[in-house]
Amino acid sequence: MTDENPQQRLRYRLLTGPDDAAFCQRVSQALADGYQLYGSPALTFDGERVIAAQAVVLPEE
């Protein structure tokens, strides 16, 4: 992961942002880093754009 030390990875992360290619890339990168999807994505509208949220977790060792 680019934004955190691999030794200090959080077991749970909630990724949020505009529902665009950059958000999908962040989720894809988390999956490539060993995270698994947790639950369904959530979407809301902020008056200008759709905002997405997806929880990811690291599996227990």
Q: Show me where the domains of the chain are located.
A: 9-57
pTM of the model: 0.82
Q: DSSP secondary structure string, 44-56?
A: EE-SSSEEEEEEE
Res 1 pLDDT > 50: no
Query: What is the rounded CA–CA span in Å between residue 55 and residue 3?
Result: 17
What is the per-residue pLDDT across 2-53, written as a single tens digit (0 to 9) for each? 455 656 789 999 999 999 999 999 999 999 999 999 999 999 999 999 999 9
Virtual torsion, Cα 35, 10, 57, 6, nearest 10 deg: 10
Nearest to 1 by CA among 34, 33, 38, 35: 33
Look at residue 21 in the predicted model and tell me its pLDDT: 98
